[in-house]
A = this chain, B = another copy of it.
């Protein structure tokens, strides 16, 4: 009886006071970050879900400002585009290379047309909340709604009266790979797979995605399509389908090809709703079916939608903010939402997953096996956020990475569905995992992790896959130019070395904590080699020729805004010069003392040399906290950067979100603390945006529980250790 009353009251409060009693989930606006190259999307996804169901509007029409094939383009959705060609299943969010974004479902009406250049539609009335997206197709008068479970989609299409169709397009998508198969299982179920991969144009990083798709209404007819290769010569006249989308109206078994699809035809009553479900797996069709059967035993769209929202509500409740503007709360919780999309759960409901680089089937009995590790980005702050707010997830992610090493012999760098894509550089697993361990999350196989770290930090020559240009790094302390000729982006020698330095600094910290003094000494020594790069003449780090002289001529501004310049990857010397967070004081000495350091760093911001859209200089604003009396600069700059670069609008993220890295910068910055040195368990502090921030820490890992950050009082200190913070 008591319970019933409580429930009633609860409903009453939610109903009548919904504006003032909003929960975190209510503040999320999935449209934030869907333009301005942030490449997030408003699709439906569950936290870290394998499945995402995302409106696809980047192909097929000149109505779109951004076309996936007309420029470098890495998002399935762009806010300002206009031509919708379906829902992609399984996508990347906030990632800078085109990948996944296939298995496109599309409802249409009228005469069947399976060419996406024709069947796409303009749209209106978009709506997006965590786990739900809806849109109205102008051309067809169809309302589309989609939701998701962890490994399956739920889609509901409301048709006008007349001929209706549901299409599955396997030929197109964001990935640059092609080729797939679809097979009719019954008149309401199809299954198949598709090749995806070549992430960042790595030709060998390919893998299959398997699916099972169901509709909840028997079609009046159904069939396949395949785009036929064009023919030459006389055959052109004999084959009416050459060069066109051919419909297979009577075929009933596997159909494979570069550009294939399947259609269901219906006679719809006015307002008739047809539901679609798709289960996916990276192991097999059978697992995709089991995933779907387990997570959605029936067709129940509203139920799935409600469950997805509930899961998001629970996930986002880890932080409570008070004060700030509505817009700031929207920015904050949407940023938190963005950090909970990648990495993704890889294993199927039966625990099976594809092992790293082998196509063997692994099995995980406990916790999750994660994939999509954009570590060059996420080791800088996302791991730290997870360690603090979601330690259970962080541990599973660390365990997943160790699993990859066990299966393959190397830690991941930029892992995507058990393929190492070798995107970006460095040895990011070391700071990612060392940071976790040093913050007291130790429930993982540290011996194996250390074995992996030791290997990549000491193995010479070309056998060192993780550090492909390591010999001079060991010998001279730096990587000279031209050491790694195969790098497609040209010479990135300084960027490579800087990543090795921070990795080795982290590893030295870890080795010390593990009592490995000799190792610690070696790695500490390695981590300080950055000093070779400092040029008094330019006042920056500067590429070194093979003969040991500095690159000349040299302009430290070269390489800004993602242009190519020798030595630096996706940045100028300015974006990299301060990136020795493990030895800020040492760098200051090289620069002529603290004052010179502070002046130079201030100059970066004053002269627009800071790049808020990429990772290398992401922690720069917080480096002032190392210098007594200069901490006010951090607060001033961070406030300015938040206001200038972030908002609650679709363009509210300043560049690729990079699996939540940009969003995490915002989260930490709005909360008033920042983990500026990966692998060192400490934070810079600044004034939070909110009056009060409560971190509801997981008591299994942090027995003290909640941390409360009071934003109304002046700061007493500007740096804090992790241990101090959580105690």
Q: Which residues of A contact B (CB under 8 A)?
A: 69-72, 176, 178-181, 193-195, 198, 201, 203-204, 206-208, 226, 228-229, 231-235, 238-241, 246, 248-260, 357-359
Contacts and interface: CB of A to CB of B under 8 A. Distances in A.
Contacts of A358: 252
B239 A198 contact: yes
B359 A231 contact: no
Nearest to A70: B233
Contacts of A250: 204, 357
Contact of A228 (B71, B178, B255): B178
Nearest to A97: B238
A239 B179 contact: no
Given A193-B256, A206-B251, A233 B198 contact: no
B235 A176 contact: yes
B195 A255 contact: yes
A203 B241 contact: yes
Given A181-B181, A257-B256, A248 B206 contact: yes
Contacts of A179: 226, 255-258, 260
Nearest to A246: B203
B206 A239 contact: no
A178 B358 CA distance: 29
B256 A195 contact: yes
Given A201-B239, A204-B251, A206-B248, A257 B178 contact: yes
Total identical chains:
2
- In this complex, which of A180, A250, A359 has the most chain B Cβ atoms within 10 angstroms of its Cβ? A250
A70 B204 CA distance: 35
A201 B237 CA distance: 10
A208 B359 contact: no
A652 to B, nearest CB: 28
Contacts of A208: 253-254
B260 A204 contact: no
A234 B71 contact: yes
A470 to B, nearest CB: 23
Contact of A249 (B194, B204, B232, B240): B204
Contacts of A228: 178
30 contacts: A69-B232, A72-B234, A72-B238, A176-B231, A176-B235, A176-B239, A178-B228, A179-B226, A179-B256, A179-B257, A179-B258, A179-B260, A180-B256, A181-B254, A193-B254, A193-B256, A195-B254, A195-B255, A195-B256, A198-B239, A201-B238, A204-B249, A204-B250, A207-B251, A207-B253, A252-B358, A252-B359, A257-B258, A258-B258, A258-B259
3 tightest CB-CB pairs across the interface, nearest first?
A179-B257, A252-B359, A256-B256
Given A201-B238, A239-B198, A231 B69 contact: yes
Contact of A234 (B70, B198, B238, B239): B70
A399 B470 CA distance: 74
A70 B235 CA distance: 7
Contacts of A229: 178, 258-259
- In this complex, which of A231, A240, A251 has the most chain B Cβ atoms within 10 angstroms of its Cβ? A251
A189 to B, nearest CB: 15
- In this complex, which of A178, A179, A195, A358 has the most chain B Cβ atoms within 10 angstroms of its Cβ? A179
Nearest to A201: B238
A234 B201 CA distance: 13
A271 B194 CA distance: 41
Contacts of A226: 178-179
Contacts of A233: 69-71
Contacts of A207: 251, 253
A203 B256 contact: no
A257 B170 CA distance: 11
Nearest to A251: B206
Nearest to A203: B241
Nearest to A194: B256
A251 B246 CA distance: 30
Contacts of A72: 234, 238
Given A178-B229, A257-B256, A359-B253, A235 B204 contact: no
A258 B233 CA distance: 20
A263 to B, nearest CB: 15
Contacts of A178: 226, 228-229, 257
Nearest to A179: B257
A232 B67 CA distance: 12
Given A232-B69, A233-B70, A256 B181 contact: yes
Nearest to A256: B256
A238 B99 CA distance: 14
- In this complex, which of A70, A203, A253, A256 has the most chain B Cβ atoms within 10 angstroms of its Cβ? A256
A248 B195 CA distance: 12
A116 B696 CA distance: 64
A240 B240 CA distance: 33
Nearest to A237: B201
A312 B94 CA distance: 66
A59 B255 CA distance: 25
A233 to B, nearest CB: 5
Nearest to A98: B235
Contacts of A181: 181, 254, 256
A250 B257 CA distance: 21
A359 B185 CA distance: 11
A357 B239 CA distance: 22
A69 B232 CA distance: 7
A131 B688 CA distance: 84
A69 B256 contact: no
A254 B258 CA distance: 13
A207 B228 CA distance: 16
